[in-house]
Structure 1
Amino acid sequence: MEFKSGFAQSIESYLEYRDGMHYGGGGERKYLLSFDQYCAEHFPGENSLTKETVRSWFSSEIARGHRALENKATTIRMFARYLGPSSYILPMNFVPKVPQYVPYIMTDDELRALFFAADRLSMHRLTPFLDETIPFLLRFIYACGLRPGEALRLKVDDVDLKTGEVFIRNTKR
Protein backbone atom coordinates (compact mmCIF):
# COMPACT_ATOMS: atom_id res chain seq x y z
CA MET A 1 0.00 0.00 0.00
CA GLU A 2 1.08 3.51 -0.54
CA PHE A 3 0.97 6.52 1.72
CA LYS A 4 -1.81 9.01 0.96
CA SER A 5 -1.95 11.66 3.68
CA GLY A 6 -0.22 15.02 3.79
CA PHE A 7 2.66 13.16 5.47
CA ALA A 8 3.17 10.74 2.54
CA GLN A 9 6.38 12.30 1.18
CA SER A 10 7.85 12.80 4.65
CA ILE A 11 7.09 9.21 5.64
CA GLU A 12 8.65 7.85 2.44
CA SER A 13 11.82 9.92 2.90
CA TYR A 14 12.00 8.92 6.58
CA LEU A 15 11.73 5.22 5.69
CA GLU A 16 14.41 5.61 2.99
CA TYR A 17 16.63 7.30 5.59
CA ARG A 18 16.06 4.44 8.05
CA ASP A 19 16.64 1.80 5.36
CA GLY A 20 19.88 3.57 4.41
CA MET A 21 21.05 3.19 8.00
CA HIS A 22 19.93 -0.47 7.97
CA TYR A 23 17.42 0.23 10.72
CA GLY A 24 14.30 -0.02 8.62
CA GLY A 25 11.88 -2.76 9.47
CA GLY A 26 8.46 -3.96 8.47
CA GLY A 27 7.06 -2.78 11.79
CA GLU A 28 7.93 0.87 11.22
CA ARG A 29 6.38 0.86 7.76
CA LYS A 30 3.24 -0.85 9.09
CA TYR A 31 2.86 1.59 12.00
CA LEU A 32 3.44 4.62 9.79
CA LEU A 33 0.98 3.26 7.25
CA SER A 34 -1.62 3.05 10.03
CA PHE A 35 -0.77 6.63 11.05
CA ASP A 36 -0.96 7.78 7.42
CA GLN A 37 -4.35 6.15 6.82
CA TYR A 38 -5.71 7.69 10.03
CA CYS A 39 -4.42 11.14 9.04
CA ALA A 40 -5.78 10.85 5.48
CA GLU A 41 -9.22 10.12 6.96
CA HIS A 42 -9.28 12.45 9.98
CA PHE A 43 -6.77 15.18 9.12
CA PRO A 44 -6.76 15.46 5.31
CA GLY A 45 -4.13 17.87 4.04
CA GLU A 46 -2.36 18.10 7.40
CA ASN A 47 1.41 17.92 6.99
CA SER A 48 2.55 19.25 10.34
CA LEU A 49 2.97 16.80 13.19
CA THR A 50 0.82 18.45 15.84
CA LYS A 51 -0.10 17.32 19.33
CA GLU A 52 -3.73 16.85 18.24
CA THR A 53 -2.79 14.70 15.23
CA VAL A 54 -0.40 12.41 17.08
CA ARG A 55 -2.45 12.00 20.25
CA SER A 56 -5.66 11.46 18.32
CA TRP A 57 -4.12 8.64 16.26
CA PHE A 58 -2.44 7.05 19.24
CA SER A 59 -5.59 7.26 21.38
CA SER A 60 -7.54 5.54 18.60
CA GLU A 61 -4.93 2.74 18.58
CA ILE A 62 -5.35 2.35 22.35
CA ALA A 63 -9.16 2.44 22.15
CA ARG A 64 -9.25 -0.24 19.45
CA GLY A 65 -7.09 -2.48 21.61
CA HIS A 66 -4.25 -2.63 19.13
CA ARG A 67 -1.00 -4.19 20.26
CA ALA A 68 2.62 -3.08 20.07
CA LEU A 69 1.77 0.34 21.50
CA GLU A 70 5.30 0.86 22.80
CA ASN A 71 6.73 0.15 19.34
CA LYS A 72 4.20 2.48 17.70
CA ALA A 73 5.04 5.22 20.19
CA THR A 74 8.76 4.80 19.50
CA THR A 75 8.19 4.89 15.74
CA ILE A 76 6.09 8.08 15.88
CA ARG A 77 8.64 9.72 18.24
CA MET A 78 11.51 8.92 15.87
CA PHE A 79 9.50 10.17 12.91
CA ALA A 80 8.83 13.42 14.80
CA ARG A 81 12.54 13.85 15.56
CA TYR A 82 13.30 13.26 11.89
CA LEU A 83 10.83 16.00 10.88
CA GLY A 84 12.48 18.54 13.16
CA PRO A 85 11.95 20.69 16.22
CA SER A 86 8.52 22.02 15.24
CA SER A 87 7.05 18.49 15.37
CA TYR A 88 5.21 17.20 18.42
CA ILE A 89 6.95 14.35 20.24
CA LEU A 90 4.68 11.95 22.09
CA PRO A 91 5.65 11.83 25.79
CA MET A 92 7.18 8.62 27.13
CA ASN A 93 4.42 8.22 29.75
CA PHE A 94 1.62 8.37 27.17
CA VAL A 95 1.76 4.61 26.57
CA PRO A 96 -0.44 2.77 29.09
CA LYS A 97 1.39 0.31 31.29
CA VAL A 98 0.46 -3.30 30.64
CA PRO A 99 1.01 -6.06 33.15
CA GLN A 100 4.19 -7.99 32.48
CA TYR A 101 3.54 -11.28 30.72
CA VAL A 102 4.43 -14.24 32.89
CA PRO A 103 5.01 -17.36 30.82
CA TYR A 104 3.62 -20.68 31.96
CA ILE A 105 6.33 -23.26 32.42
CA MET A 106 5.15 -26.82 32.07
CA THR A 107 6.11 -29.39 34.68
CA ASP A 108 8.02 -32.54 33.74
CA ASP A 109 4.79 -34.52 34.06
CA GLU A 110 2.94 -32.12 31.74
CA LEU A 111 5.73 -32.32 29.17
CA ARG A 112 5.71 -36.11 29.34
CA ALA A 113 1.93 -36.11 28.82
CA LEU A 114 2.22 -33.70 25.87
CA PHE A 115 4.88 -35.79 24.11
CA PHE A 116 3.03 -39.02 24.96
CA ALA A 117 -0.15 -37.64 23.34
CA ALA A 118 1.77 -36.35 20.31
CA ASP A 119 3.39 -39.77 19.81
CA ARG A 120 -0.05 -41.37 19.68
CA LEU A 121 -1.70 -38.99 17.22
CA SER A 122 -3.32 -40.75 14.33
CA MET A 123 -3.71 -38.29 11.50
CA HIS A 124 -2.29 -40.35 8.65
CA ARG A 125 -5.45 -39.87 6.59
CA LEU A 126 -4.96 -36.11 6.39
CA THR A 127 -1.34 -35.81 5.32
CA PRO A 128 1.41 -38.37 4.81
CA PHE A 129 4.11 -38.31 7.52
CA LEU A 130 2.05 -36.03 9.80
CA ASP A 131 2.11 -38.70 12.52
CA GLU A 132 5.94 -38.43 12.57
CA THR A 133 6.20 -34.70 11.90
CA ILE A 134 4.08 -33.36 14.77
CA PRO A 135 5.92 -35.22 17.57
CA PHE A 136 9.26 -34.18 16.07
CA LEU A 137 8.23 -30.52 15.69
CA LEU A 138 6.98 -30.32 19.27
CA ARG A 139 10.26 -31.72 20.59
CA PHE A 140 12.32 -29.51 18.27
CA ILE A 141 10.43 -26.35 19.31
CA TYR A 142 10.84 -27.29 22.97
CA ALA A 143 14.52 -28.25 22.76
CA CYS A 144 15.58 -25.21 20.72
CA GLY A 145 13.27 -22.66 22.33
CA LEU A 146 11.65 -21.75 19.03
CA ARG A 147 8.38 -20.04 18.35
CA PRO A 148 6.03 -22.26 16.31
CA GLY A 149 6.28 -20.03 13.24
CA GLU A 150 10.08 -20.14 13.34
CA ALA A 151 10.03 -23.93 13.23
CA LEU A 152 7.43 -24.04 10.46
CA ARG A 153 9.50 -21.67 8.26
CA LEU A 154 12.58 -23.91 8.38
CA LYS A 155 13.87 -25.20 5.05
CA VAL A 156 16.10 -28.23 4.47
CA ASP A 157 19.05 -25.90 3.73
CA ASP A 158 18.61 -24.26 7.16
CA VAL A 159 19.73 -27.41 8.97
CA ASP A 160 23.36 -28.56 8.90
CA LEU A 161 23.44 -32.14 10.15
CA LYS A 162 27.26 -32.21 10.15
CA THR A 163 27.71 -29.28 12.55
CA GLY A 164 24.35 -29.53 14.31
CA GLU A 165 23.55 -25.91 13.47
CA VAL A 166 20.11 -24.60 12.61
CA PHE A 167 19.63 -21.26 10.86
CA ILE A 168 16.45 -19.58 12.12
CA ARG A 169 14.91 -17.05 9.71
CA ASN A 170 12.64 -14.11 10.49
CA THR A 171 12.99 -14.21 14.24
CA LYS A 172 11.37 -11.65 16.48
CA ARG A 173 14.65 -9.78 16.79
Structure 2
Amino acid sequence: MSALGEALTQYITVRRALGTRLAEPANTLRQFVTFLEQEGSAHITTALALRWATARPGVQKATWGRRLSMVRKFAAWWSAFDPQTEVPPRHLVSSRHRRPRPHIYTEAQTQALMAAAAQCRSPTGLRALTYTTLIGLLAATGLRPGEALALDRSDVDLQNGILFIRETKFGKSRLVPIAATTRLALAHYAARRDALCPHPQTPAFLLSERGRRLAGSSVRRMFVRLSRAVGLRPANGSPRAGRGPRLQDFRHSFVTGRLVAWYRAGADVTRELPKLATYVGHTEVGLTYWYIEAVPELLMLATERQSGRADTGGAR
Protein backbone atom coordinates (compact mmCIF):
# COMPACT_ATOMS: atom_id res chain seq x y z
CA MET A 1 0.00 0.00 0.00
CA SER A 2 1.27 3.48 -0.87
CA ALA A 3 1.95 6.16 1.74
CA LEU A 4 -1.21 7.97 0.66
CA GLY A 5 -3.19 4.76 0.95
CA GLU A 6 -1.91 4.24 4.47
CA ALA A 7 -2.67 7.88 5.29
CA LEU A 8 -6.23 7.48 4.05
CA THR A 9 -6.72 4.35 6.16
CA GLN A 10 -5.57 6.25 9.25
CA TYR A 11 -7.78 9.23 8.37
CA ILE A 12 -10.85 7.03 8.01
CA THR A 13 -10.03 5.23 11.27
CA VAL A 14 -9.71 8.52 13.17
CA ARG A 15 -12.89 10.00 11.75
CA ARG A 16 -14.91 6.85 12.49
CA ALA A 17 -13.50 6.65 16.01
CA LEU A 18 -14.92 10.13 16.49
CA GLY A 19 -18.40 8.93 15.61
CA THR A 20 -18.60 9.75 11.87
CA ARG A 21 -19.85 6.94 9.62
CA LEU A 22 -17.93 8.33 6.62
CA ALA A 23 -19.43 5.78 4.22
CA GLU A 24 -19.55 7.77 0.97
CA PRO A 25 -16.39 9.86 1.64
CA ALA A 26 -14.37 6.73 2.43
CA ASN A 27 -15.24 5.12 -0.90
CA THR A 28 -14.81 8.36 -2.82
CA LEU A 29 -11.43 9.12 -1.28
CA ARG A 30 -10.19 5.62 -2.08
CA GLN A 31 -11.00 6.34 -5.71
CA PHE A 32 -9.07 9.61 -5.42
CA VAL A 33 -6.00 7.89 -3.95
CA THR A 34 -6.13 5.28 -6.73
CA PHE A 35 -6.23 8.12 -9.25
CA LEU A 36 -3.14 9.74 -7.68
CA GLU A 37 -1.29 6.43 -7.76
CA GLN A 38 -2.15 5.98 -11.43
CA GLU A 39 -0.86 9.49 -12.08
CA GLY A 40 2.38 8.62 -10.32
CA SER A 41 1.93 11.33 -7.70
CA ALA A 42 3.00 10.70 -4.12
CA HIS A 43 1.39 13.94 -2.94
CA ILE A 44 -1.99 15.65 -3.16
CA THR A 45 -1.93 18.68 -5.44
CA THR A 46 -4.65 21.17 -6.23
CA ALA A 47 -4.36 20.57 -9.96
CA LEU A 48 -4.79 16.80 -9.64
CA ALA A 49 -7.60 17.15 -7.11
CA LEU A 50 -9.50 19.51 -9.40
CA ARG A 51 -8.94 17.31 -12.45
CA TRP A 52 -10.17 14.23 -10.56
CA ALA A 53 -13.19 15.99 -9.03
CA THR A 54 -14.41 17.30 -12.39
CA ALA A 55 -13.59 14.18 -14.43
CA ARG A 56 -17.11 12.79 -14.28
CA PRO A 57 -19.18 14.23 -17.15
CA GLY A 58 -22.93 14.51 -17.07
CA VAL A 59 -23.24 15.32 -13.37
CA GLN A 60 -24.12 18.57 -11.64
CA LYS A 61 -21.36 20.92 -10.54
CA ALA A 62 -22.55 20.40 -6.98
CA THR A 63 -21.29 16.82 -7.28
CA TRP A 64 -17.89 18.09 -8.37
CA GLY A 65 -17.89 20.45 -5.41
CA ARG A 66 -18.83 17.69 -2.98
CA ARG A 67 -16.03 15.44 -4.27
CA LEU A 68 -13.52 18.26 -3.99
CA SER A 69 -14.74 19.07 -0.49
CA MET A 70 -13.99 15.50 0.62
CA VAL A 71 -10.48 15.80 -0.79
CA ARG A 72 -10.01 19.18 0.90
CA LYS A 73 -10.77 17.76 4.34
CA PHE A 74 -8.45 14.81 3.82
CA ALA A 75 -5.71 17.07 2.44
CA ALA A 76 -6.03 19.54 5.33
CA TRP A 77 -5.52 16.68 7.77
CA TRP A 78 -2.66 15.06 5.84
CA SER A 79 -0.86 18.39 5.29
CA ALA A 80 0.03 18.38 8.99
CA PHE A 81 2.17 15.29 8.32
CA ASP A 82 3.22 15.88 4.71
CA PRO A 83 4.34 19.48 4.03
CA GLN A 84 4.23 18.89 0.27
CA THR A 85 0.48 18.32 0.39
CA GLU A 86 -1.55 21.08 -1.25
CA VAL A 87 -4.97 21.85 0.23
CA PRO A 88 -7.34 22.83 -2.60
CA PRO A 89 -8.84 26.28 -1.93
CA ARG A 90 -12.56 26.67 -1.49
CA HIS A 91 -14.92 27.66 -4.28
CA LEU A 92 -12.88 26.21 -7.12
CA VAL A 93 -16.19 24.85 -8.36
CA SER A 94 -19.67 25.75 -7.23
CA SER A 95 -21.24 23.47 -4.66
CA ARG A 96 -24.05 23.22 -2.18
CA HIS A 97 -24.12 25.58 0.74
CA ARG A 98 -21.71 24.52 3.46
CA ARG A 99 -21.49 25.62 7.04
CA PRO A 100 -18.95 28.43 7.29
CA ARG A 101 -15.73 27.64 9.09
CA PRO A 102 -16.12 28.98 12.63
CA HIS A 103 -13.99 31.78 14.01
CA ILE A 104 -12.53 30.69 17.34
CA TYR A 105 -12.21 33.72 19.58
CA THR A 106 -9.15 34.03 21.74
CA GLU A 107 -9.52 35.23 25.30
CA ALA A 108 -7.88 38.51 24.27
CA GLN A 109 -10.39 39.02 21.44
CA THR A 110 -13.34 38.39 23.75
CA GLN A 111 -11.96 40.84 26.30
CA ALA A 112 -11.36 43.42 23.57
CA LEU A 113 -14.95 43.10 22.35
CA MET A 114 -16.29 43.48 25.88
CA ALA A 115 -14.08 46.53 26.41
CA ALA A 116 -15.36 48.05 23.18
CA ALA A 117 -18.94 47.33 24.23
CA ALA A 118 -18.30 49.09 27.54
CA GLN A 119 -17.54 52.24 25.55
CA CYS A 120 -20.96 52.32 23.86
CA ARG A 121 -22.65 55.61 24.65
CA SER A 122 -26.31 56.06 25.51
CA PRO A 123 -28.34 58.44 27.71
CA THR A 124 -28.53 56.07 30.69
CA GLY A 125 -25.50 53.86 30.06
CA LEU A 126 -27.67 50.75 29.78
CA ARG A 127 -26.52 50.01 26.23
CA ALA A 128 -22.90 49.52 27.25
CA LEU A 129 -23.91 47.42 30.24
CA THR A 130 -26.21 45.18 28.20
CA TYR A 131 -23.83 44.52 25.33
CA THR A 132 -20.91 43.83 27.63
CA THR A 133 -23.06 41.33 29.51
CA LEU A 134 -24.39 39.74 26.32
CA ILE A 135 -20.91 39.07 24.93
CA GLY A 136 -19.71 37.70 28.26
CA LEU A 137 -22.78 35.46 28.55
CA LEU A 138 -22.34 33.99 25.07
CA ALA A 139 -18.64 33.36 25.65
CA ALA A 140 -19.21 31.73 29.05
CA THR A 141 -22.16 29.49 28.17
CA GLY A 142 -22.14 28.72 24.44
CA LEU A 143 -25.78 29.77 24.13
CA ARG A 144 -27.15 30.49 20.70
CA PRO A 145 -27.49 34.28 20.33
CA GLY A 146 -31.25 33.93 19.94
CA GLU A 147 -31.44 31.92 23.16
CA ALA A 148 -29.68 34.67 25.10
CA LEU A 149 -31.96 37.37 23.66
CA ALA A 150 -35.06 35.28 24.45
CA LEU A 151 -34.23 34.92 28.15
CA ASP A 152 -36.86 36.37 30.47
CA ARG A 153 -36.14 37.35 34.04
CA SER A 154 -37.99 34.26 35.23
CA ASP A 155 -35.63 32.11 33.15
CA VAL A 156 -32.54 33.29 35.04
CA ASP A 157 -32.21 31.65 38.44
CA LEU A 158 -29.45 33.71 40.02
CA GLN A 159 -29.74 31.97 43.38
CA ASN A 160 -28.97 28.50 42.01
CA GLY A 161 -27.03 29.56 38.92
CA ILE A 162 -29.29 27.98 36.29
CA LEU A 163 -30.68 29.29 33.01
CA PHE A 164 -33.92 27.89 31.61
CA ILE A 165 -33.76 27.80 27.82
CA ARG A 166 -37.31 27.52 26.52
CA GLU A 167 -38.30 25.72 23.31
CA THR A 168 -35.60 27.13 21.07
CA LYS A 169 -34.11 25.39 18.04
CA PHE A 170 -35.70 21.99 17.36
CA GLY A 171 -38.45 22.90 19.86
CA LYS A 172 -36.48 21.62 22.85
CA SER A 173 -36.03 23.16 26.28
CA ARG A 174 -33.12 22.61 28.64
CA LEU A 175 -31.53 23.74 31.88
CA VAL A 176 -28.08 25.31 31.61
CA PRO A 177 -25.99 25.50 34.81
CA ILE A 178 -23.62 28.46 34.88
CA ALA A 179 -20.33 29.02 36.67
CA ALA A 180 -20.18 31.08 39.86
CA THR A 181 -18.37 33.89 38.07
CA THR A 182 -21.07 34.02 35.39
CA ARG A 183 -23.80 34.06 38.04
CA LEU A 184 -22.13 36.98 39.83
CA ALA A 185 -21.75 38.89 36.54
CA LEU A 186 -25.44 38.37 35.72
CA ALA A 187 -26.45 39.40 39.24
CA HIS A 188 -24.40 42.59 38.86
CA TYR A 189 -26.07 43.29 35.53
CA ALA A 190 -29.56 42.70 36.95
CA ALA A 191 -28.98 45.13 39.82
CA ARG A 192 -27.56 47.86 37.57
CA ARG A 193 -30.26 47.23 34.92
CA ASP A 194 -33.05 47.66 37.44
CA ALA A 195 -31.51 50.87 38.75
CA LEU A 196 -31.13 52.32 35.26
CA CYS A 197 -34.48 51.07 33.94
CA PRO A 198 -36.93 50.54 36.83
CA HIS A 199 -39.99 50.31 34.53
CA PRO A 200 -39.12 48.08 31.54
CA GLN A 201 -41.59 47.39 28.75
CA THR A 202 -40.76 43.69 28.59
CA PRO A 203 -39.97 40.75 30.91
CA ALA A 204 -36.71 40.22 28.98
CA PHE A 205 -33.58 39.76 31.06
CA LEU A 206 -31.36 41.72 28.64
CA LEU A 207 -32.77 45.16 27.92
CA SER A 208 -32.23 47.73 25.22
CA GLU A 209 -31.69 51.38 26.10
CA ARG A 210 -35.45 51.92 25.81
CA GLY A 211 -36.30 49.08 28.15
CA ARG A 212 -37.30 46.66 25.41
CA ARG A 213 -36.13 43.21 24.39
CA LEU A 214 -33.07 43.36 22.18
CA ALA A 215 -33.83 42.80 18.48
CA GLY A 216 -31.59 40.33 16.71
CA SER A 217 -31.00 42.65 13.75
CA SER A 218 -29.95 45.51 16.03
CA VAL A 219 -27.61 43.25 17.97
CA ARG A 220 -25.95 42.01 14.78
CA ARG A 221 -25.41 45.58 13.56
CA MET A 222 -23.90 46.59 16.88
CA PHE A 223 -21.64 43.55 16.86
CA VAL A 224 -20.32 44.51 13.42
CA ARG A 225 -19.46 47.95 14.82
CA LEU A 226 -17.69 46.41 17.80
CA SER A 227 -15.83 43.92 15.59
CA ARG A 228 -14.57 46.74 13.39
CA ALA A 229 -13.55 48.76 16.42
CA VAL A 230 -11.21 45.98 17.63
CA GLY A 231 -9.93 44.98 14.19
CA LEU A 232 -11.86 41.73 13.70
CA ARG A 233 -13.56 43.17 10.62
CA PRO A 234 -12.15 45.69 8.14
CA ALA A 235 -13.12 49.28 8.93
CA ASN A 236 -14.09 50.06 5.33
CA GLY A 237 -16.80 52.57 6.14
CA SER A 238 -19.44 50.46 4.42
CA PRO A 239 -22.80 50.10 6.17
CA ARG A 240 -22.93 46.47 5.03
CA ALA A 241 -21.78 43.84 7.49
CA GLY A 242 -19.57 41.95 5.06
CA ARG A 243 -17.74 38.84 6.20
CA GLY A 244 -16.10 38.29 9.53
CA PRO A 245 -16.55 36.71 12.97
CA ARG A 246 -20.16 36.37 14.10
CA LEU A 247 -22.02 36.22 17.38
CA GLN A 248 -22.66 32.54 16.66
CA ASP A 249 -18.91 31.98 16.77
CA PHE A 250 -18.90 32.45 20.55
CA ARG A 251 -20.84 29.18 20.64
CA HIS A 252 -18.27 27.52 18.40
CA SER A 253 -15.48 28.90 20.59
CA PHE A 254 -17.14 27.58 23.74
CA VAL A 255 -17.50 24.05 22.38
CA THR A 256 -14.02 24.05 20.87
CA GLY A 257 -12.49 25.28 24.13
CA ARG A 258 -14.06 22.41 26.06
CA LEU A 259 -12.93 19.81 23.54
CA VAL A 260 -9.37 21.12 23.39
CA ALA A 261 -9.16 21.16 27.20
CA TRP A 262 -10.41 17.57 27.40
CA TYR A 263 -7.98 16.31 24.77
CA ARG A 264 -5.03 18.05 26.41
CA ALA A 265 -6.02 16.70 29.82
CA GLY A 266 -6.27 13.16 28.48
CA ALA A 267 -10.00 12.87 29.19
CA ASP A 268 -12.19 10.31 27.46
CA VAL A 269 -13.79 12.69 24.94
CA THR A 270 -16.13 10.00 23.59
CA ARG A 271 -17.66 9.68 27.05
CA GLU A 272 -17.76 13.41 27.76
CA LEU A 273 -19.14 14.53 24.41
CA PRO A 274 -22.79 13.53 25.01
CA LYS A 275 -22.79 15.73 28.13
CA LEU A 276 -21.53 18.68 26.12
CA ALA A 277 -24.09 18.02 23.38
CA THR A 278 -26.87 18.10 25.97
CA TYR A 279 -25.50 21.29 27.56
CA VAL A 280 -25.42 23.24 24.29
CA GLY A 281 -28.72 21.81 23.05
CA HIS A 282 -27.64 19.61 20.16
CA THR A 283 -30.23 17.02 19.20
CA GLU A 284 -27.56 14.42 18.49
CA VAL A 285 -23.91 13.97 19.35
CA GLY A 286 -22.98 13.99 15.66
CA LEU A 287 -23.72 17.71 15.53
CA THR A 288 -21.11 18.27 18.21
CA TYR A 289 -18.58 16.06 16.42
CA TRP A 290 -18.70 18.56 13.56
CA TYR A 291 -16.46 20.90 15.56
CA ILE A 292 -13.67 18.34 15.57
CA GLU A 293 -13.72 18.29 11.77
CA ALA A 294 -14.10 22.07 11.43
CA VAL A 295 -11.21 23.10 13.69
CA PRO A 296 -7.77 21.84 12.55
CA GLU A 297 -6.29 21.87 16.07
CA LEU A 298 -9.05 19.59 17.32
CA LEU A 299 -8.66 17.13 14.47
CA MET A 300 -4.91 17.04 15.12
CA LEU A 301 -5.45 16.39 18.85
CA ALA A 302 -8.00 13.68 18.03
CA THR A 303 -5.53 12.10 15.60
CA GLU A 304 -2.75 12.11 18.19
CA ARG A 305 -5.08 10.53 20.75
CA GLN A 306 -6.22 7.85 18.33
CA SER A 307 -2.62 7.12 17.29
CA GLY A 308 -1.62 6.79 20.96
CA ARG A 309 -4.39 4.28 21.58
CA ALA A 310 -3.37 2.29 18.53
CA ASP A 311 0.23 2.18 19.76
CA THR A 312 -0.91 0.80 23.11
CA GLY A 313 -3.32 -1.71 21.66
CA GLY A 314 -6.39 0.42 22.36
CA ALA A 315 -5.74 0.72 26.11
CA ARG A 316 -7.20 3.74 27.87
TM-score norm. by structure 2 comes to 0.26
The two structures have a TM-score, normalised by structure 1, of 0.45
- Using CA pairs below 8 Å that are at least 6 residues apart, which structure has the higher relative contact order? 2
